[in-house]
Chain A
Amino acid sequence: MRYAMAIDTKKCVGCSDCVVACQLENNVPIGYCRDWIVETTSGTYPNLELENRSERCHHCANAPCVRCCPTGASHIAEGGVVLVTPDECIGCGACIASCPYDARYPHPDGYVDKCTFCIHKVRKGEDPACVQVCPTNCLYFGDLDDPNSEVSRKIKERKYKRLKTEAGTDPQLYFLI
């Protein structure tokens, strides 16, 4: 099993709904977020291109945050999901410094927090909160090892890119372009 997410940048309108839904679902304190939206514009008026990307932890198959963690609080769970166990985390910040995507943040309660792929929902057979809410239906979550999952199919059918692969992280967010 290999959980992954595909983000259709051609449909994402950058509305941030995925961010709001995540914050509420996961009780992310006001002022913090586990996912965020990047908007890139290139060109000169009126020859322009724009891309919206909903980003979060890439649940890297080769995760530097897990490698750097001195206590094992950061670990890899089922389906390659990268999680933090709050009670094992000392808040040293090594994982934060090691993440090329700045996907983690120090939770005000001390431990480090990040996207969990909503594993608590996924275990119940539901989609992550951000996927569930997206009004443009541009987020796809599922198992890459299952060739019939929506993610697998999207990645097969469409061109995609992954971010900062040069950092060697083998990220598991696929941006459909």
Chain B
Amino acid sequence: MKTNRRSFIKISGAGLGAAAVAGSAINFAHGSIINEAIPDVKVAERTPTYCEICFWKCAGWVTKNDQGDIWKIEGHKDDPHCNGRLCPRGTGGVGMYYDEDRLKTPLIRVEKDGKQVFKQATWAEAFKVVGDKLKQIAKDHGPECVALFTHGSGGKFLGHFMKAYGSPHVTAPSFAQCRGPREVAFYATYGEGVLSPERTDIRNTKCLVLIGSHIGENMHNGQVQEMSQAIDNGATIITVDPRFSTAASKSKHWLPIKPSTDIALLLSWIHVIIKEGWYDKEYVEKYTFGFDQLKAHVEPFTPEWAYGKTTIEPKVIRETAKEMANASPSVIIHPGRHVTWYGDDTQRLRAVAILNALLGSWGRRGGFYNPDKVSIPDFPHPAYPKPKKSYLDMMDGKYSLATEVISNGLCDVTTPAPERDCNIKAWIVNGTNLIHTLPDQKKTLEAIDSLELLVAIDTMPMEITGYADVVLPECTYLERYDAIRNSPHREPVISLRMPATKPKYDSKPDWWIAQQLGFEMGLDEYFQYKDIEEVLDWQLKQVGSSLAEMQKLGVKKMKRAYDDLYIPDGADYQFNTNTGKIELYSTELQNEGFDPMPVFTEHAQPPVGFYRLNYGRTPVHTFSRTSNNPNLVDIMPENDLWVNPRVAKLWGSKNGQYVWLKNQDDIVSQFSIKVRITERIRWDSVYMAHGFGHSNKKLSRAFGKGASDTELISNVKYDPIMGGTGMRENFVTILTEKPETVAAS
């Protein structure tokens, strides 16, 4: 494949041509849907699925109308992820299927008249190109030089393919760009992670403390529902957020913290709780290690000290500490999920873990429960070959505490460097739009540039597909089977996704792609099944169900192995840490040369004329994944830039005015973004939803709509403990005129 510079191909015109197969049953032009004011649609058929619009994976039913077209998706009543109610994105999931911009056939990058274009290909042609290259790489450099980036359900099958091929390099952005620091911090403290869905017992809590987590905008369904239950139950909600988030507006206490100073607040809360003796003495005594060190450590961190850092008044710090103590142990200091903020994130999450431990909430009702799940064996296959090297070897021992593969780490060891004798040569990218997902785009593009092969498996012509040598169109989740969803919850629960309809166009499911790639590579022995139904049926029978049963039920709850949802009062309990206790003082971190207890460090603040770039979720979209979904675009077509009225006045900005942004490294946003003047944001920050500002013209609804936060995040604060990418130390200034540096688009 190409070794010359990889130019971005807009999948369009020459590339796709005749592939524009006559479209969907519903034409989305204005008003072409016949509406009887009172519909009487006879329900033709209902099939189970679980949602793929985010990683909460709610189970639901897909209902078709009497014409046999997909009509709506509704939540599954028995599913604890959703309790019969999907979130707006899940409800609007039908748009993923109907989107006429979808990838339609495999595409192969070819040179034509000196220009790189995509050529439509058959699956066999595409597999041949990929297979030949992968064989070559295995021979020349070893299979470990291939990496799989994957996010979402299909990863199971492609991961299996990778391991059969011989590479351990399977990664998801959900670790180092997301919840990695949290998992590492909780492992270091409790010997267990927080998991997904989070093991937070929100519906039973008396006090919920949200630090940044903007539940309600972050629509992770079960949490939103349980937070609402908590409100009904009269629980106290305390929200720490520099922005007036929706959650903050539902809270008894909103602490409008100065960005990047959360560790100071946490240390001060710990200080107060120890000083006042408000901690759960019995629990601390019985289960924790290092209390005395901790006590000494936090001695200087008085609320008055924290006030200077956080701007939160000492009185408020004490009051909120008291609220938490009053609720103890039914209190949750929520660990959040996207926690890669400032590079000291593992330490911040350690402080969260410690605070929870002092209040005795881990393993307690209204705190953190102990989830259970069934264990579903793999479909029988020969043992995987043993990889000879790991990317960590290429990174000279950094990030040894990472519990999963670091996506940006793989990216780092892709770009050749003099100090490395080996680097990654090929990427398979499935269901992750790395261009918008990894910060520091320049670095990502450099890595991509040095690849010998980039395969993108996606449903949409997202940016990443434009850099691929081979594009493989996956069908949407509504058109396919997938791995059994097996989630840890209060009770073990499994859920089936099955196709509601045939795949549109020439798209195929991941399980089939993985199997065919396996055959192409001569790995037949790893894929000894006729089709996925055989695999699923076999697996389901191992856990006392069957495919036929699950097609009817959709969701099945299992019995817990033990009655240990909470730690029984006073029971002996062995934690999976070096000391067998909850480590307030982390021996693991100490052994690796890190601070065994969290310390506060100052972070950079915006220079004059610049504002901190704050970003987050918006309820109707999931990152870039939904940005072209016709139903959801209808609700929110673009993101806007939240600007405090004081700042707006300074810049003479008007509501609805389009502006460009320039960051501290002189990077200018490719597209403009609409100003929303609102008191909900501080005067030292601006805020936008992540996932907009798409540059691929083939995304007819998303192209050029709003701005991308990712392209402005060029200053990355790497977490020294686990390699996470802190993204919140970027500053932008406002440009009211279209800057010349932005190419006409």
Cβ B35 vs Cβ A20 within 8 A: no
Residues of B near A15 (CB, < 8 A) are 87-88, 216, 219, 224, 619-620
Cβ B85 vs Cβ A133 within 8 A: yes
Q: Which B residues lie at the A interface, using CB under 8 A?
A: 28, 30-40, 71-72, 74-75, 84-88, 91-92, 94, 216-217, 219, 221, 224-225, 227-229, 231-232, 244, 246-247, 249-250, 254, 256, 619-620, 630-632, 634-636, 644, 678-683
Residue in B30, B232, B244 whose CB lies within 8 Å of A31 = B30
Q: Which of A90-123 contact B (CB under 8 A)?
A: 107-109, 111, 113, 116, 119-120
Cα A45 to Cα B84 with chains together (Å): 37
Q: Which of A1-56 contact B (CB under 8 A)?
A: 10-11, 13-17, 19-21, 23-33, 41, 43-46, 48-50, 52
Cβ B231 vs Cβ A46 within 8 A: no
- Is the C-beta of A135 less than 8 angstroms from some C-beta in chain B? yes
The 8 A CB mask of A113-140 against B (1 = contact, 0 = none) is 1001001100000000000111111100
Known contacts A11-B231, A46-B244; is-contact A84 B37 (Cβ 8 Å): yes
Cα A107 to Cα B219 with chains together (Å): 31
Cβ B31 vs Cβ A41 within 8 A: no
Cα A16 to Cα B217 with chains together (Å): 11
Look across to chain A and name the residue whose beta carbon is closest to the beta carbon of B311: A46
Known contacts A17-B88, A49-B249, A109-B31; is-contact A25 B72 (Cβ 8 Å): yes
Look across to chain A and name the residue whose beta carbon is closest to the beta carbon of B34: A109
Residue in B246, B250, B682 whose CB lies within 8 Å of A45 = B682
Known contacts A17-B86, A43-B679; is-contact A109 B38 (Cβ 8 Å): no
Cβ B232 vs Cβ A133 within 8 A: no
- Is the C-beta of A85 less than 8 angstroms from some C-beta in chain B? yes
Residues of A near B229 (CB, < 8 A) are 137
- Is the C-beta of A83 less than 8 angstroms from some C-beta in chain B? yes
Cα A29 to Cα B679 with chains together (Å): 34
Look across to chain A and name the residue whose beta carbon is closest to the beta carbon of B84: A132
Residue in B28, B34, B71, B221 whose CB lies within 8 Å of A24 = B71
Residue in A43, A52, A135 whose CB lies within 8 Å of B87 = A135
Look across to chain B and name the residue whose beta carbon is closest to the beta carbon of A48: B244
- Is the C-beta of A79 less than 8 angstroms from some C-beta in chain B? no
B243 to chain A, nearest CB (A): 9
Look across to chain A and name the residue whose beta carbon is closest to the beta carbon of B635: A16
Q: Which A residues lie at the B interface, using CB under 8 A?
A: 10-11, 13-17, 19-21, 23-33, 41, 43-46, 48-50, 52, 83-86, 107-109, 111, 113, 116, 119-120, 132-138
Cβ A137 vs Cβ B244 within 8 A: no
Cβ B231 vs Cβ A10 within 8 A: yes
Cβ A23 vs Cβ B634 within 8 A: yes
Please name 10 further chain A to chain B contacts, defined as beta carbons within 8 Å, in addition to the given A10-B231, A45-B680, A133-B85, sorted by A numbering.
Answer: A20-B632, A27-B36, A30-B33, A45-B244, A45-B644, A45-B679, A46-B256, A120-B39, A135-B224, A136-B227
Known contacts A46-B254, A52-B246, A132-B74; is-contact A137 B86 (Cβ 8 Å): no
Cβ B246 vs Cβ A50 within 8 A: yes
Known contacts A135-B219, A135-B224; is-contact A48 B249 (Cβ 8 Å): yes
Cα A29 to Cα B680 with chains together (Å): 33
B336 to chain A, nearest CB (A): 17
Residues of B near A11 (CB, < 8 A) are 228, 231-232, 250
A108 to chain B, nearest CB (A): 2
Cβ A30 vs Cβ B35 within 8 A: no
